Amino acid sequence: MFLFDVWIDVAHLRSEGYCESSRIPTMVEIGTPEVDADRRDLTINSLFYNIHDDSVEDFTGRGIEVLFSGIIATPLPPKKTFLDDPLRVLRAIRFGARLGFKLTKELKIAASDHEVRISMEEKISRERIAREVDLIVSGNEPVMAMTLISELKLFGTVFTLPVSFEPGISDGYEKMC
């Protein structure tokens, strides 16, 4: 919701389970703050605001530290986080570019992992990727984000050309873009 010129997301605490072939949770249950924080895509999105005592709660134990350090990290190991929902790779890039934050080395390694790229191709619709790319290019640092996409060897996965493209026409398109 939009409240006093600020976007606020409200969600109940939950626990999720995923199957191997989909990024959509197959199991959603009420969870604890700790479980909910760990299931988040990024540590900066795992911080909770306690309206009772006007405080920020950091159940991952690293969210506040990485926020003030200008780092994009995941609450759980990045590869597990990305295999559960590979769209989180693009979200990490988008938030990193938008905030001017650096992605951790561990996150970069996981994001460019072959298994994660395959998961991205198989689990995420082209429309959903396009929506995330639209948010990336309409952000304040689209060049930084596109540079990250290229550096992480995700360009071909994110910008897959149609099968009907003539052979040879796409040679070097990543470099030209």
> Whole-model pTM?
0.79
Task: Flag whether 74 is in a domain.
Answer: yes
Task: Flag whether 152 is in a domain.
Answer: yes
- Residues in contact with 119: Cβ distance below 8 Å, sequence separation at least 6, in sequence order: 82, 83, 86
Task: Flag whether 1 is in a domain.
Answer: no
Tell me whether strands 47-50 and 55-58 are parallel, antiparallel or unpaired: antiparallel
Q: Domain range for residue 100?
A: 10-176
Measured distance CA(127)–CA(136) in Å, rounded:
14
Measured distance CA(116)–CA(110) in Å, rounded:
7
Take residue 5 and report the two structure tokens written for it: 């010129």
Task: Flag whether 41 is in a domain.
Answer: yes
- The model's pLDDT over 53-104, given as tens digits with 9 standing for 90+, comes to 999 999 999 999 999 999 999 999 999 999 988 999 999 999 999 999 999 9
Task: Flag whether 123 is in a domain.
Answer: yes
- The model's pLDDT over 102-112, given as tens digits with 9 standing for 90+, comes to 999 999 999 99
Q: Give me the pLDDT at residue 106, please.
A: 96
The pLDDT-based confidence of 22 (bands split at 50, 70, 90) is: low
The number of distinct structural domains making up the chain is: 1
Residue 32 belongs to domain with CATH number: 1.10.110.30
Task: Flag whether 22 is in a domain.
Answer: yes
Give burial (CB, 10 Å; 0-12/13-18/19+) of 56. Answer: exposed
Task: Flag whether 5 is in a domain.
Answer: no
Between 149 and 170, the more confident residue is: 149
